Amino acid sequence: MLLPPLCACQPPPAPGGLRLIEAQSQESGKTNGAAPSAAATWRATTLPDNWDGQRPGYEGHVRYRLTFDTSSLAAGRLGVYLPAVGMNAYPLVNGVSLGAVGRMQPPVTRHFYTPLLWELPRGLLKPGNNELTVVVAGHPGYRCGLAPVEIGPYDSLYRAWQIRGWLQNTGTLVTSTLIGALGVYVLLLWLRERNNRVFGWFGLAAVVWGVRNLNYVITDPPLPSLLWSQLTVAGAAVFQGLFALFTLHYCESVDPDDRAPRWLAPALLAYMAAALVWFVAAPGFAQSRAGFVPFAVLGLAITAWSQWRLVRLAVRQRRAEVVAIAMSGLLYLALVLHDFAIARDIHSVGEVFLRQYASLPLFLSIGWMLTRRYLDALEEARSASALLQSRVEEQRKLLERNFQQLRAAEREQAQAAERDRVMRELHDGLGLHLITAYEQCQRAEVDRSNIAESLQDCLTDLRVAIDSLAPEERDPLAVLGSLRFRMAPRLEAFGMQLHWEVDGDVPELPDLDAARALHLLRLVQEALTNALRHSGAKTVTLRVEGQTASVTVIVRDDGRGFDPGRPGGRGLAHMRQRARQIGGQLSVRTGPEGSEVRLEIPVS
């Protein structure tokens, strides 16, 4: 044995109790073992009796016959205590059964790691020597057999049964549950950080280890007993490979220079796959058992390599978390060697496996490290997010200031452009009329009516320019209504009536800004001025028609008409140019019955 087994020795029997070691045994084959076999012989046996060493390859039932003297027993309640039996057993006292716990026929209940206790009725005992028969059911390759049997005060045996049961069953179940839950927790962290393989390998290793250790506490597995045992052994190999992969990536994450050979990770995956194939595909216990030693030795080498990497990293880094993991790993390795020694011993029965307990501080220290690392990453992400948010806020304020400056510049540019436009319009319209009036005043003979008309044209142009700047410039009715108000008195002064007509629902023109409104006013003003000066009409009509897709403006008079192609006439050319500026289409019709100027503006 590599290490002396711990918890292998039972405490001395309680006062008034007996520990039975000497027995006679009989192999009953695969019968139910309720009665001794006439053909089988009895042979002297000293407990513990390990079938792998005493009867290799045997499967079925073995009867153990032990004798005891009641004079050595204390008064009061008595009990029969089997600290270790594999796979299952039931006792008989003087030929009377005390009752079986679980099944004695295949699939046999797996009590190989569960202590058993029965109450011994005093009515079954007789003075002097009595016979205790223990029938054991088992199969080869799984440390089946019987440990020394105790008979004595029930209360004392119950305390021993309770302590051993907690150590072997309850404690193992609690530890396995904690480790499995820790593995699930780390896997959930890994789902949040898929690129961090340290979380993934450790989470898988912990889940596999927690499930694998349920072998110690599940007495009736949901799978066939052979397959369950094979998966248990294969699970230990898979855990060793997964933990080595965790160690590999963890050491690299702490110290980027601490890199393992590139072939190591594929080799570990191949080891796990080979263990699964070998143990699961084996047709029986003997074949599975044949691969136990090679895979166990290789697994021990992998485990030793993992712990060597962790210890070397702790020596280099000297950080609390790395040292804690390395020390926990050394404890785990020592108890792995301890359990391996127990598994290889074919003469003893009843030792307690301990590496499931040693793995708890190892996994807790690693889980604490991974949790702290994850929380540090979250804090770093929050700090980076806050810094980014502050910088974004600074950029937003800067962009807002730049935008305000740009808008102010655009407003100044628009105002300057509008001033230029108004100045051009005043220069082309008002300026021309003022020059005309000035020249008329310079003549020797002054015609007051011509001067008044020129000044009136000046006022009209000025008012039209001002009206185009009104905030209602997108409403064609409001724009043209102002022009009608300005022109009506002037037409009436020359004996002409201006009629205002609106047909339909006239929509707004979205593109009718100040510049386009001025073009519209100038165009209609030119048409009204032409009717005033050249048509000789009595009535002029300004009509606005509204349609869904367009607005039509019509100026119609009942005068004598005019020649659109007369020499020197540029008024129509200017009107057509203004129509194009506002996206409209201008048409002119003239004749002896009068003239009509039609402007159609699309609603865009």
Question: How many Å apart are CA 440 and CA 445, to the nearest integer?
Answer: 9
Residue 37 pLDDT class (50, 70, 90 cuts): low
Q: Considering the domain boundaries, does residue 138 fall inside one?
A: yes
More confident residue, 565 or 186: 186
Which pLDDT score, from 0 to 100, does residue 270 have?
95
Is 80 found in the same domain as 196? no
Question: How many Å apart are CA 22 and CA 214, to the nearest integer?
Answer: 33
Is 198 found in the same domain as 135? no
In this structure, which amino acid lies at residue 196? N
CB atoms within 10 A of CB 222: 6
CB atoms within 10 A of CB 579: 20
Is 221 found in the same domain as 88? no
Q: What is the token pair recorded at 391?
A: 């910088």
The pLDDT of 456-477, averaged and rounded, is 63
Residue 564 pLDDT class (50, 70, 90 cuts): low
| pLDDT-wise least confident of 90-94, 216-220, 306-310, 366-370 | 366-370
**Given a cut of 80, is residue 565 above it in pLDDT?**
no
Is 190 found in the same domain as 263? yes
Structure confidence by residue, pLDDT tens digits, 137-184: 998 877 899 999 999 999 999 999 999 999 999 999 999 999 899 889
Q: Considering the domain boundaries, does residue 201 fall inside one?
A: yes
Q: In what order do the strands lie in the sheet with 18-20?
A: 18-20, 149-153, 78-82, 116-120
H or E segment and range at residue 572: helix 571-581
Which pLDDT score, from 0 to 100, does residue 265 have?
92
Question: How many Å apart are CA 290 and CA 297, to the nearest integer?
Answer: 13
More confident residue, 47 or 422: 47
Q: Considering the domain boundaries, does residue 12 fall inside one?
A: no
Is 574 found in the same domain as 521? yes
Question: How many Å apart are CA 50 and CA 42, to the nearest integer?
Answer: 17
* Last residue of one domain, picked from the residues 358, 376, 394: 376
Please give the angle made by the CA atoms of 191, 196 and 198, to the nearest 5 degrees. 105
**Given a cut of 70, is residue 459 above it in pLDDT?**
no
| pLDDT-wise least confident of 163-167, 202-206, 406-410, 503-507 | 406-410
Residue 126 pLDDT class (50, 70, 90 cuts): very high
Residue 134 pLDDT class (50, 70, 90 cuts): very high
Closest alpha carbon to 551 in 575, 576, 585 = 585
Closest alpha carbon to 215 in 328, 343, 69 = 343
DSSP per residue, 92-149: EETTEE---SS-SSSSPP--TTS-EEEEE-GGG--SSEEEEEEEEEE-TTS--EEPPE
Q: What's the pTM?
A: 0.62
Q: Are 187 and 207 in contact (CB under 8 A)?
A: yes
Residue 463 pLDDT class (50, 70, 90 cuts): low
Domain containing 580: what range? 474-602
**187: domain CATH number?**
1.20.1070
Please give the angle made by the CA atoms of 429, 532 and 435, to the nearest 5 degrees. 30
The distance of Cα 184 from the centroid of its chain, to the nearest Å, equals 15
**Given a cut of 50, is residue 441 above it in pLDDT?**
yes
H or E segment and range at residue 540: strand 539-546
* Last residue of one domain, picked from the residues 106, 137, 164: 164
Is 157 found in the same domain as 74? yes
Is 231 found in the same domain as 280? yes
Residue 1 pLDDT class (50, 70, 90 cuts): very low
The pLDDT of 232-240, averaged and rounded, is 90
Q: Considering the domain boundaries, does residue 36 fall inside one?
A: yes
Is 186 found in the same domain as 82? no
Q: Considering the domain boundaries, does residue 395 fall inside one?
A: no
**545: domain CATH number?**
3.30.565.10
Residue 97 pLDDT class (50, 70, 90 cuts): very high
* Last residue of one domain, picked from the residues 344, 361, 376: 376
Which pLDDT score, from 0 to 100, does residue 132 have?
96
Phi-psi region of 95 (alpha: psi -120 to 50; beta: other; left: phi over 0): left
Residue 373 pLDDT class (50, 70, 90 cuts): confident
The pLDDT of 540-557, averaged and rounded, is 90
DSSP per residue, 510-528: TT--HHHHHHHHHHHHHHH
Question: How many Å apart are CA 589 and CA 79, to the nearest integer?
Answer: 130
The pLDDT of 23-29, averaged and rounded, is 91
What pairs with residue 560 in β-bridges? Answer: none
Q: Considering the domain boundaries, does residue 428 fall inside one?
A: no
Is 31 found in the same domain as 149? yes
Which pLDDT score, from 0 to 100, does residue 456 have?
63
**Burial (Cβ within 10 Å: 0-12, 13-18, ≥19) of residue 532:** buried
Q: Considering the domain boundaries, does residue 269 fall inside one?
A: yes
**Given a cut of 90, is residue 238 above it in pLDDT?**
yes
**Given a cut of 70, is residue 312 above it in pLDDT?**
yes
Is 172 found in the same domain as 156? no
Percent of residues, the chain, with pLDDT higher than 90: 28
- Taken as a whole, the chain contains a residue count of 604
Q: Considering the domain boundaries, does residue 587 fall inside one?
A: yes
What's the mean per-residue pLDDT of the chain? 83
Which pLDDT score, from 0 to 100, does residue 44 have?
95
Which pLDDT score, from 0 to 100, does residue 439 have?
57
More confident residue, 177 or 416: 177
Question: How many Å apart are CA 156 and CA 17, to the nearest integer?
Answer: 9
Is 284 found in the same domain as 158? no
Number of independent structural domains in the chain = 3
The beta-carbon contacts of 321-325 under 8 Å, at least 24 apart in sequence, are: 321/365, 321/368, 321/369, 321/372, 322/254, 324/365, 324/368, 324/369, 325/362, 325/365, 325/366, 325/369
More confident residue, 160 or 373: 160
**48: domain CATH number?**
2.60.120.260
Is 483 found in the same domain as 598? yes
More confident residue, 181 or 569: 181
Question: How many Å apart are CA 479 and CA 564, to the nearest integer?
Answer: 27
Q: What is the token pair recorded at 579?
A: 């129509």
